[in-house]
Structure 1
């Protein structure tokens, strides 16, 4: 299914149900998500969030670090022997 087709059928309520189902690994009735259902839900969540959700609020968002992990001077040069 292409992204436009997904967006055409995905409402905020369905998006939230998919998100909850992925988080819990089961549907509201208690039945477990199959691997295919999980894949479909994840795809729909990503497509919906790309279109309607602010980047900082999207699933899996990690803010950039304010400072690098190491100083540039601390970098080791790789030497092949």
Structure 2
């Protein structure tokens, strides 16, 4: 079985289990993940997510938000109180 077939055959349960193991740094039985295991599990989680999840639910997704406009709604300058009280 090659890498693509392995990713295609992963179930959502296996994906969640690998993702949880990565979050905790250990397998469900409590044993610590090695660096190599973390690397392979992370690659599998990212690859499976890219094939099966919407972008907003994938590992590493950052919501860039929405920029409404170039200027503020209230362009008027409002001085701070301590500036008003200064001599």
TM-score where L is the length of structure 1: 0.73
Report the counterpart of residue 67 of structure 2 in structure 1: 67
SS at match of 2:59: coil
CA RMSD of aligned residues (A): 2.0
**Structure with the greater alpha carbon radius of gyration:** 2
Q: Whose relative contact order is higher, 1 or 2, with alpha carbons under 8 Å and at least 6 apart? A: 1
Stretches of structure 1 that go unaligned for 5 or more consecutive residues are 72-81
Report the counterpart of residue 39 of structure 1 in structure 2: 39
Stretches of structure 2 that go unaligned for 5 or more consecutive residues are 72-87
How many corresponding residue pairs?
A: 69
TM-score where L is the length of structure 2: 0.69
